[in-house]
């Protein structure tokens, strides 16, 4: 079937055909029905995340690679069974416990690894793995993503699928000659009834209703109000100023360039 879709006589430059706007950004999708994408068994999109924007947790039905065209931020891939290795406290340390006690429990957290990224980075996102992104920079993040829907990791049909774990996807606008709108997509939890969700998670009905997010109209990229404190290593915590940090990064890049030049020789 896929081979017959590859009888292409003429190739065309493609531009995004559908746009979905959110509170703090937008996503533009390339036309998956185009024979070029069908032949290659891939889907592609471009996402723009405004400063302070958070791409809500979601996963794809296929492996994906993202190239960061512009901006910087942090992201996390959440793999089931991996340890919550980023911790803001140490159990059993009496000094830490006392300190925590003074500050109250409000600042404690532990979660899986998070990573920084910046312009020029490639980020790998395995199929079925939940991930999120936060823009902690001063300019919008622009990221280009390709999903390999024909890979064996995707056992569904060749359509791209995004499974939201929170929020809800706004109506898509088709760009071009016949502009039209899609219907809304909701998050996975919204498909469970409130009672079952509350009971299985051991939470109140009110909180379960919030998880379902039926009345959440912020979209899939939301604006973070106030600060966004998560546990992550920072060079500045080691007493390094922002200028020194940039200088260190520049030196590392120089070393990397030199290493590559020597390898080429």
Judged by the rule CB under 8 A, the positions of this chain that interact with other proteins are 54, 56-57, 59, 61, 76, 78-82, 84, 86, 106, 109, 111-112, 114, 127-130, 132, 134, 153-156, 161-168, 185-193, 196-203, 207, 210-211, 213, 216, 222, 224-225, 228-231
> Minimum CB separation from other proteins for residue 217, in Å?
11
Contact between residue 18 and residue 173 where contact means Cβ atoms under 8 Å apart: yes
- Both tokens of 194, joined, read 């409130």
> Minimum CB separation from other proteins for residue 77, in Å?
9
Cβ distance to other proteins smaller for residue 4 or 152: 152
Cβ distance to other proteins smaller for residue 4 or 155: 155
Cβ distance to other proteins smaller for residue 106 or 265: 106
Cβ distance to other proteins smaller for residue 158 or 187: 187
> Minimum CB separation from other proteins for residue 159, in Å?
9
> Minimum CB separation from other proteins for residue 180, in Å?
17
- The Cβ of residue 193 has, within 10 Å, a number of other Cβ atoms equal to 10
> Minimum CB separation from other proteins for residue 64, in Å?
13
> Minimum CB separation from other proteins for residue 232, in Å?
9
Cβ distance to other proteins smaller for residue 69 or 153: 153
Cβ distance to other proteins smaller for residue 216 or 245: 216
- Residue 208 main-chain phi, psi, to 5 deg: -60, -40
């Amino acid at each position: 079937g896929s081979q017959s879709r590859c009888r292409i006589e003429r190739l065309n430059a493609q531009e995004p055909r559908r746009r979905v706007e959110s509170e703090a950004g937008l996503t533009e999708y390339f036309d998956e029905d185009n024979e070029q994408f069908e032949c290659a068994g891939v889907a592609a999109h471009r996402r723009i995340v405004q400063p302070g924007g958070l791409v809500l947790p979601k996963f794809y039905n296929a492996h994906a690679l993202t190239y960061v065209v512009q901006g910087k931020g942090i992201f996390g891939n959440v793999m089931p069974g991996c340890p919550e290795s980023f911790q803001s406290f140490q159990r059993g340390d009496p000094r830490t416990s006392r300190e925590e006690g003074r500050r109250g429990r409000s600042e404690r957290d532990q979660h899986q690894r998070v990573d920084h990224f910046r312009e020029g980075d490639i980020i790998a996102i395995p199929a079925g793995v939940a991930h999120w992104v936060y823009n902690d920079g001063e300019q919008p993040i622009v990221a280009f993503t390709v999903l390999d829907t024909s890979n064996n990791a995707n056992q569904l049909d060749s359509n791209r699928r995004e499974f939201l774990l929170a929020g809800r996807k706004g109506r898509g606008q088709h760009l071009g000659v016949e502009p039209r709108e899609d219907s809304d997509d909701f998050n996975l939890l919204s498909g469970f009834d409130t009672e079952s969700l509350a009971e299985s998670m051991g939470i109140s009905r009110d909180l379960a209703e919030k998880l379902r997010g039926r009345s959440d109209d912020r979209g899939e990229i939301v604006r973070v109000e106030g600060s966004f404190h998560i546990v992550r290593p920072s060079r500045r915590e080691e007493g390094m100023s922002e200028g020194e940090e940039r200088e260190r990064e520049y030196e590392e890049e120089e070393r990397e360039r030199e290493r590559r030049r020597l390898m080429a020789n």
